[in-house]
Structure 1
Amino acid sequence: MNIITPRVSLAFRLALRELRGGIRGFYIFLACIALGTGAIAAVNSVSQSITDTIASQGQELLAGDVRFELNNREATPEEMAFLDGLGTVSVSTGLRSMARKPDGSDQALVEVKAVDDAYPLYGSFVAEPDYPLAALLSGQGGTYGAVAAPLLLDRLGLAVGDELLLGNVKLSITGTVKTEPDALSEGFGFAPRLLVSRRALEASGLIQTGSLVEHAYKIRLEDKGAMSGIQARAAKEFPSAGWAVRTSDRAAPSLTENITRFSQFLTLVGLTALIVGGVGVANAVRAFLDSKRTTIATFKCLGAPAQVVVLIYLFQIAIIALGGILIGLLIGALSPIFAAQFLAQFLPVSTAPTLYPGALLLATLFGILTTLAFAILPLGHAREVPATALFREQGFEARRLPSWPYILLAALFMAALAGLAILTAYDRFIAVVFVGAIVFAFVVLRLVAAAIAWLARRSPRVNSPALRLAIGNIHRPGALTPSVVLSLGLGLALLVTLTLIDGNLRQQLTGRMNEGAPNFFFVDIQSAEVDAFRALVQAQAPKGKLMEVPMLRGRIIAFNGEDVSKMNVPAAGRWVLNGDRGITYADTLPENAALTDGSWWDKDYSGEPLVSFSSEEAHELGLKIGDKITVNVLGRNITAKIANLRRVQWESLSINFVMVFSPNTFRGAPHAWLATLTDPASTPAEDAAILKSVTNTYPTITSVRVKDAIDIVNQLVAQLATAIRAAASVALIASILVLAGALAAGNRARTHDAVVLKTLGATRAMLIRAFSYEYLILGLATAIFALMAGSVAAWFIVARIMRLPSTFLPDVAGLTLVTALVLTVGIGLIGTWRILGQKAAPVLREL
């Protein structure tokens, strides 16, 4: 200990003394660490800002301490008495319907929310003009008030003071929605909000047998301490109620989970940028230490042990890395403030300056581990610099791996980096796949670099001296090939992957899915209206195909008698259990499905209830033929046995259900009907005529034009794609920095080459052509690899995970090739131009 401490102290003093000369050669190192650390810190800080705000504003976001939700039925007197006993209750009802102009000239789909006088129990509803909500919704002279989203007024060309029709009731628009406290907790809406009173909804006639309606009972608890046991108490007293219970500490669980998942994805992209930057760290450290060969040799001639030399430069690397990490942490700390300016209108984001130590600590750990993992091997090489290097600046000793302790340390830090990525991930399986993909990519890129060098070594002799020199530079000892391929390959492969995924999703939404999808969905068709509705639609669209099925809503509550809320359900199939699902019954197999296992029941089957389950979802949930499923429908628990599994083509957007029951299961149960109309030859004008006719004839039927829904989804995908592209650009920027660093690291050798060749008669023009050919070949080879690797990765994600058709997009190939060539040739020539003007005498004296 007494020996080590003076050595450490001496090394630290010498490191600080050397740093007085500046950090030349470490700027790319600094930028790589700052960029990767900043990306991880920013993503996690913004994510935590949103989730913390959701948690802290749970009462306002839920508009209550507890929310009980019932679908397609209202609470019974006994259930209502139970809810009233908990505290103050506010009741709201939500459904989708059609709002129409009084003259019948236009209509639009709306998300109707009917509230009572107690709403909201927490938070504030703000309208424009800013009057009390009860006053805005009160009726006058047989007309009820309504508050509409500004988007609805824009779509229908209306203004405050105008009238519109909802079902059978006339409404007067008294204001527009500015702030709806519980909008986020109620989930995503495909249509603009229309807020009315419960009395107006009752008068509209929209709530009928089988209508798709959600009744929410929000409660301000008298005893806040009772909140933790409410769900268990409600389940015990009303086991067949089938209500979904949510407390204010989980006001928007789906939103929180989606934000966490998306932030994990962006974190992994940021980690990719950091790892790509790690290659830049290794290049920068190698180039810096290479420039310090004379200094290292001097230390050794003066008797400095190898360990002291390593410590000197380890301290310098650590100090500069901490500077880069601090810059990244500053970016991360400021990100929530800037993000709030853009996200506040969509998500609950705190605008108050707040630090998120967990997010910053995570980014710091990633930055430190990346620095150490990639700097150890170059430090090991520095340890091997001989004292004779003092007398010859250019070293000719062969490159070899450093001693085994340095290799072991690098491996340990790499393992720690991978372990941290996996342990902190929301979905560890995805994190494991990511880590495996990165390791695989590194190995493959090294093999690609070796293959390029091998091909260059065995290429036929060419007549052009410049091209011959370029080919020789690719395979010679100390060539740039491994550095260029590794630095550019990862960033380009990630860019290709994300671009192909985005392109396939857009193509699916705007192309194949749009072409095969029905024109309309018609919801809440009453049994008494089915025949007349069918006649009306067939008269309006005689060439169209109309499909009708009975529809109910049910919530899965148990598998084989086990409560699903207490089961560890795989994430891939969890969506089936979140909320109510549409269900139906049928005598025969639906025409857009195919059996994968089991057999269909007979038309006159009258035995125990049977159900056909979607095969993909059954596999994800671990279900098989013969298992029992308990579903709560209209307050009754119904248990059915899985009779068969069928393949469902969800991407067709036609009528599909996870569960199709045997008809005897719901014999006599009240329900409505769901219908689709498909007419590929229909024009927008004909669609508008059908929509107008159905809406005016049957005000209580909800008509959804599928193209409009696809356009909304396409807008969401575009917004997500923007965020993904921004994250991918961080990785590409890191690749550019690393590429610049790799080329800079080879500039010393290039300087000697240029001087020797010019001495032997080579002109500057010939050398420029030679270097251009070299960079062009390396860029083209790297682009081809990135295109192949990115295409395979995108195909796997789109075809195997998203279960959608995947196609190769030629424009992505062209963009990748151009990007790679511009970067490699452009950056290479920028770095090379300076060394071509190097004076020969100083260089020749050092050889």
Structure 2
Amino acid sequence: MHGSLPATPQRHPASPSRLPLLLRLAFRELRGGLKGFGIFLACIALGVAAIASVSTLSRSLTEGISREGRRILGGDMAFSLLQRDATAPERTFLESKGRVNVIATLRAMAVAGEKGSGLVEMKAVDGGYPTVGALETDPPLSPADLFAEKNGAFGAAVDPALLARLDLKVGDRVTVGAANMELRASLVSEPDKIADGIGFGPRLLLSQEALKATGLVQPGSLVRWTYRLTLPPELSTESGLTQIEAEANRVLPEAGWNIRTRLNADPRFARNIERFTQFLTLVGLTALLVGGVGVANAVRGFVDRKRASIATLKSLGAPGGQVVLLYLTQVMLIALVGIALGLAFGTMLPFVVTGLFGHLLPIPIQPTLAWSELGIALLYGVLTALVFALAPLGRAHDVPVSGLFRDQIDPERRWPRKRYVTALVLSVTALVGLSLLAAYDRRIALMFVGAATGSFVLLRLVAMGIMALARRLPRPRRTAPRLALANIHRPGALTPSLVLSLGLGITLLVTLSVIDTNLTRQLTQSLPERAPSFFFLDIPNQQADAFEGFLKQQAPEAHIERVPMMRGRLVTLGGRPVAEVKAPEDISWVLEGDRGITYANKPPEGSNVVQGEWWPEGYRGKPLVSFDRKIAEGLGLKIGDEITVNVLGRNISATIANLREIEWRSMGINFVMVFSPNAFAGAPHTHLATVTFPHGSDAALDARILRSSAQAYPMVTSVRVKDALEAVNDVVSQLVMAIRGASSIALIASLLVLAGALAAGHRARLYDAVVLKTLGATRARLVSAYALEYGLLGLATAVFGILAGTLAAYFIITRVMSLSFTLDLSGAVLASALAVLVSVGLGLMGTWRILSQKPALYLRNL
């Protein structure tokens, strides 16, 4: 053998033939199948599938919105104005570019006599509606038949939800404002529904003539007028759209309109898709990282099984580096199989969703092969496999030849060589860099990276602490507790793997449980106790005092608050155009579209001036404004800065006089911007009022107030807060359900990792069982010892998971969601107990299989 060593190819320097040789050796060893790599494959495939599915589905949605932008928008361009319709010069400009169609949207009350009344989202269209797509109704009617005035009533199409709510049927009549409406059909599909956003009430579709007959359009009414522009082919190009938008802002700088094109038909919806995609991608990455622990366990078990082969190769002269490269090649080939499975699932998902549910979805989806997103998922999978495989494989470099004959149960533990540590650091850096580069919000991605790193480090420290504590505790007299305690801290113990895999799962469970509990409490308990019972919108200025008197008669014990209200769009901040202001993600909503504004002689209820001074009553100087402190700081504003808002087509500048702390959660009347009264002297506006009962109200009282206010003041829109909260609750519930579904992937990965950790310790447990059974230990005693071991580890890990998960939930609730936090660990404790029971069950299942083995077969090989 000694004479043949120089002839071995492994001793020669690197050559082009080495890689094919390594591949041949790797494939030869893989002929025996993938035994022991089932969990490895499942973890990689699950994480990659989660990332690929989210990314490709998001891309399909954005592609669908982009392709169907003209149908969603109802034309090539849309110019929106709030509280006023277009002036003659503005109409002339639009009509010079193409065909113009007008849409008006507003909230109103539909009164159905003794059956009650309900809030509706009215949409008044002209004779050209719809310009793109088709309006579907039941029964099918042409626009002329649907909207025409017949027998003293205008026709309308209605959302079936209103029919069910007021116990109506097609053909019945309702009163809206001063007009009678005949509900001639129920709405099946609106081609431009997405562009109109989400409303609190069912849709009522009617004609422009019917809207005029209602008398609801008054100076200052909250009506949104949208002018949809259909362009000739030569102007409908991307450059043509950009040119028209720039020209509109240049020629009519004070129009104050919001301009959208078919290229960004619903930017807020697209942006929300991107945000939610990032969240789900981070959940998928969590699953992948949790699965990475399973990869590490599987590779560690693989190296353990191959110790004899490694020692044999090294005894024949193979360098340690080549041995590591051989088995790294095998591991990465297996990882590529799992990655391919995950990518295949992610690729197929948009096509499956479209085929099965495309006709039910309210949003367009265009299945597409998103190669860039799939490439990112591929990189995530490769880097994760590499990161978690390098450390256990790097240790294989120094497996001694004596491993053939000893060092079986307690192999020497040491750090891998510097080259492998360097490769590991580079791989981790690449994975972190990819996470940041592919993120929509890099701040959140950086927080995720920090949280993931902290979790791994903390759980490792927890495992070391548990082992150190078990080592120092006095030895129990009874056999089972003594054996369980020894198993926790002995060399080669399962403690680090079990604590890491179980700790990640419990932390995630507790975080989701506490967030869910807090959201439910905020929506169903805290808010209704403090919130007003009603909001009344669009109170005409000339009827505001009379309406307040009416409310006091209807509810003499209630607290009534009334303020003037207008809508305005920020134009400049501190001399900077809004388009140039880079606001933080949680502040940018203030710059998007129109905001509610008011004027007042004193600070509104629910807010306190924290900087500056309030203006004196009767102030007549330059217009002043009070700003929300947090938002002002986010926008880089301070006292003395000047802002400009566009209200009713006029730019009005004001100086920031003070900053306020606002209690938004009270749901009282409050505004980001409150102006001095002289800022809007003589401007048409409406009023907003709230009614709050000190001891709550009942359904009968609510119904009476709604019915009487709708009959006495048909121009006023009534919003029952409970109904609005239920609408929000429905949306949030669906969101929470989606989050739970996505997070279940990470939980499944955690269970797989836990099973893998137990499987990785199979050989050592088998050796223990054989020796102990030979020495006379009964199966019952061994099972009780193992159950105690797993239970103690599970309990200690559950305590950490509850603490870490509660802290994570507190941060998300208070910092990200800006809600109050209530500590309720009932669901978290139940989830943790369930996780501990599962871990003990999985451990005992594997142990029972080990205890059923006959000792003789294994004693021959010891």
TM-score normalized with structure 1 length: 0.98
Separation in 2, partners of 1:3, 1:818:
55
Structure 1: how far apart are the matches of 2:498 and 2:353? 35
Which residue in 2 is equivalent to 1:381?
Answer: 395
1:562 aligns with 2:576: yes
Looking at structure 2, the residues matched to 633 and 416 of structure 1 have their Cα atoms a distance apart, in angstroms, of: 50
Greater CA deviation, 66-75 or 450-459? 450-459
Q: Which moved more, 1:474-483 or 1:814-823?
A: 814-823
What does residue 723 of structure 1 align with?
A: 738
Alignment correspondent of 2:6: none
1:482 corresponds to which letter in structure 2? P
Instruction: Choose the corresponding residue for 2:660, options 633, 646, 649.
Output: 646
Q: Tell me, yes or no, if structure 1 residue 324 matches structure 2 residue 335.
A: no
Which of the numbers 161, 176, 186 marks the counterpart of 1:151?
Answer: 161
- Counterpart among 737, 741, 748 of residue 752 in structure 2: 737
Deviation track 1:169-192 (CA, whole Å, cap 9, x = no partner) reads 011111111121111112111111
Letter in 1 for 2:29: E
Alpha carbons 2:604, 2:669 under 8 Å: kept: no
Which residue identity does 1:204 align to in structure 2? T
Say if 2:410 and 2:492, in contact at 8 Å, map to a contact too. no
* Contact 1:561/1:628 (8 A) holds in 2: yes
Kindly state the Cα deviation for residue 20 of structure 1 after the two structures are TM-superposed. 1.0
Q: Is the 8 A contact 1:104 1:696 kept in 2?
A: no
Determine if contact 1:113/1:195 at 8 Å carries over to the other structure.
yes
Between stretches 158-167 and 129-138, larger displacement belongs to 129-138
Taking the TM superposition and a 5 Å limit, the aligned residue runs for 1:257-296 are: 257-296=271-310
What SS does the aligned partner of 1:130 have?
Answer: coil
Question: Residue 19 of structure 2 aligns to which amino acid in structure 1?
Answer: V
The CA deviation at 1:344 is 5.3
Matched, 1:780 2:780: no
Q: Does 1:78 align with 2:92?
A: no
Please state whether the residue corresponding to 2:17 is helix, strand or coil.
Answer: helix
Question: Is 1:180 aligned to 2:190, yes or no?
Answer: yes
Matched, 1:250 2:264: yes
Alpha carbons 2:506, 2:832 under 8 Å: kept:
no
Q: Deviations over 1:184-235 (max 9, x none)?
A: 1121111111000000000000111221010000000122142111221111
Residue identity opposite 2:770 in structure 1: V
CA change 1:485–1:349 in 2 (3 A) is farther
1:124 matches 2:134: yes
SS in 1 for 2:149: coil
The Cα of 1:346 is off from its aligned counterpart by: 4.5
Matched, 1:233 2:247: yes
User: SS where residue 462 of structure 1 aligns?
Assistant: coil
3-state SS in 2 of match to 1:489: helix
Whether contact under 8 Å (1:293, 1:393) holds in the other structure is no
2:45 counterpart of 1:34? yes
Q: Distance in 2 between matches of 1:347 and 1:35?
A: 29
Matched, 1:519 2:533: yes
The answer to whether 1:749 aligns with 2:760 is no
Give the 5 Å matches for 1:189-204.
189-204=199-214
Q: Is the contact between residue 358 and residue 365 of structure 2 (CA under 8 Å) also seen in structure 1?
A: no
2:823 aligned residue? 808
| Contact preservation (8 Å) 2:119, 2:201 | yes
Q: Is the 8 A contact 1:50 1:347 kept in 2?
A: no
- Could you say which residue in structure 1 is the equivalent of 2:441? 427
Match of 2:636 among 622, 646, 663: 622
Q: Distance in 2 between matches of 1:166 and 1:560?
A: 44
How many Å apart are 1:515 and its aligned residue? 0.8
* Contact in 1 for aligned 2:603/2:614 (Cα 8 Å): yes
1:657 aligns with 2:667: no
State the AA in 2 paired with 1:630.
T
Provide Cα deviations, 1:141-169, integer angstroms capped at 9, x if missing partner: 32111011111111111111111111110
2:431 maps to which residue? 417
Q: Could you list the per-position Cα deviations for residues 669-689 of structure 1 after superposition, in whole angstroms to 9, with x for gaps in the alignment?
A: 111110000013321110110
Which one-letter code corresponds to 1:221 in the other structure?
A: L
The alpha carbon displacement at 1:312 in A equals 2.1
Contact 1:89 1:118 in 2 (8 A): no
Output the CA distance in 2 between the equivalents of 1:675 and 1:533: 9
SS state of the match for residue 452, structure 1? Answer: helix
C-alpha contact 2:791 2:836 (8 A) present in aligned 1 = yes
Q: Which residue of 2 aligns with 1:114?
A: 124
Q: Is the 8 A contact 2:79 2:226 kept in 1?
A: yes
Cα 1:122–1:525 change in 2 (3 A) is: same
- Name the CA distance, whole Å, in 2 between partners of 1:750 and 1:126: 67
Alignment partners' CA distance in 2, 1:530 and 1:348: 41
2:59 aligns to what? 48
Please point out which of 191, 197, 212 is paired with 2:222.
212
Determine the C-alpha separation between the residues in 2 that align with 1:400 and 1:130: 77
1 CA distance for matches of 2:368 and 2:817? 37
Aligned residue number for residue 538 of structure 1 = 552
Deviations 1:331-369 (A, max 9, x none): 111221343445754442436x53221221111110000
Aligned pair in 2 of structure 1 residues 592, 196: CA closer, same or farther (>3 Å)? same
State the match for 1:14 in structure 2. 25
Cα distance in 2 between the residues matched to 1:598 and 1:846: 85
Is residue 2:458 matched to residue 1:447?
no
| 220-229 vs 746-755, which moves further | 220-229
Q: Which one of 223, 229, 236 corresponds to residue 224 of structure 1?
A: 236
Amino acid at match of 1:91: V
Offset at residue 15 of structure 1 (A): 1.1
| Deviation readout 1:707-735 (Å, 9 max, x if unpaired) | 00001111111101111111111111101
Tell me if the contact between 2:159 and 2:186 (Cα under 8 Å) persists in the aligned partners.
yes
SS in 2 for 1:644: strand
> Could you list the per-position Cα deviations for residues 805-837 of structure 1 after superposition, in whole angstroms to 9, with x for gaps in the alignment?
101222223223212211210110111111112
Amino acid at match of 2:30: L
Q: Determine the C-alpha separation between the residues in 2 that align with 1:463 and 1:544.
A: 71
Higher mean C-alpha deviation, range 353-362 or range 607-616: 353-362
Match for residue 498 of structure 1? 512
Q: Could you tell me how far apart the structure 2 residues matched to 1:835 and 1:693 are?
A: 76
- Aligned partners of 2:668 and 2:690 also within 8 Å: yes
Distance 1:329 1:815 in 2: 35
Report the counterpart of residue 319 of structure 2 in structure 1.
Answer: 305
Matched-pair identity in %: 52
Contact 2:514/2:828, CA 8 A, preserved across alignment: no
Unaligned runs of 5+ in 1: none
The answer (yes or no) to whether the contact 1:614–1:646 under 8 Å persists in 2 is yes
* Inter-CA distance 172–343: structure 2 relative to 1 (3 Å threshold): same
Q: 1:608 to 1:346 in 2, by over 3 A?
A: farther
> 2:722 matched to which residue of 1?
707
Give the distance between the partners of 2:554 and 2:176, measured in 1 at CA.
23
Alignment of 1:823 onto 2:838: yes
Which amino acid in 2 is paired with 1:162? Answer: D
Q: Distance in 1 between matches of 2:632 and 2:739?
A: 31
RMSD between aligned alpha carbons?
1.4
- 62, 66, 80: which one aligns with 1:69: 80
Return the offset for 1:301. Answer: 2.3
**Pick aligned residue for 2:143 from 119, 133, 145:** 133
Alignment CA distance shift 1:188-1:344 (3 Å): farther
State the Cα distance separating 1:396 from its structure 2 match: 3.8
Matches of 1:88 and 1:445, distance apart in 2: 65
SS in 1 for 2:170: coil
Q: What SS does the aligned partner of 1:275 have?
A: helix
What code does the residue aligned with 2:41 have? L
Cα separation, 2, equivalents of 1:77 and 1:684: 48
Q: After the TM superposition, which residues 598-617 of structure 1 pair with which residues of structure 2 at under 5 Å, given as runs?
A: 598-617=612-631
Amino acid at match of 1:689: R
For 1:643, what is the secondary structure of its paired residue? strand
